[in-house]
Amino acid sequence: MAIKTIITEPNEILRQVSKPVIRVGNDERKLMDDMLETMYAANGIGLAAIQIGIPKRIIVMDISKDGNKNPLFFVNPIIKNKDKEKKTYEEGCLSVPNYFAEVDRPKYCEVEYLDYNGKNKILKADDLLATCIQHEMDHLEGILFIDYLSKLKKTMIVKKLSKKKNNPDRIIV
């Protein structure tokens, strides 16, 4: 396993639409292992392959608490059903470091996908799990949570992030 670099906004790669996986083989499993290690190292609860620069429809997640690991792997996820009722969470994203904002999403959804072994599965998710999978599935379409904010707020965040990118870290020696 290897820890990969997480791409941060602004970067056009994050706006790509990811491509479906034809077959879940060893290359895909290795990618999922690397993604999981990268996500854990960054203290995240979800990561899409495009966030490490690979435009494949693959997501890893782990929303378990208390140090009990429970990794989830989603290949080619499709939302089959979702609630009209919305739930609000304050969301962040490993590709939008240090910024958080409230986003409304369907409180419940059903997702069809292939798992780590390429087996067809259905996830019935609500609350945090539903929000997390929907946030990650947005990444597959090139959508970030800041796209749901007002233009003013989004512009401000992107501006601050690009400013940070252009300035090297200041050190005093």
Contact residues for Ni ion, defined by CB under 5 A: 93
Residue nearest to Ni ion (CB): 93
CB burial of 155-171 (b: ≥16 within 10 Å; e: otherwise) equals: eebbeebeeeeeeeeee
> How many other C-beta atoms are found inside a 10 Å radius of the C-beta of residue 173?
2
66-84: b (≥16 Cβ within 10 Å) or e: eeeeeebbbbbbebeebee
Q: Which is nearer to Ni ion, 119 or 164 (CB)?
A: 164
The strand pairing partners of 103, in sequence order, are 89
- Name the minimum Å distance from CB 95 to Ni ion: 5
Question: Which letter does DSSP use for residue 126 in this model?
Answer: E
Residue at token pair 């707020």:
153
Closest contact distance (angstroms) between CB of 148 and Ni ion is 12
**Shortest distance in whole angstroms from residue 145 CB to Ni ion:** 7
Active-site residue identified among 9, 28, 91, 136 = 136
- Active-site annotation holds for 90: no
Nearer to Ni ion, 92 or 171 (CB): 92
Cβ proximity to Ni ion: between 10 and 118 the closer is 10
Q: Which amino acids are annotated catalytic?
A: 136
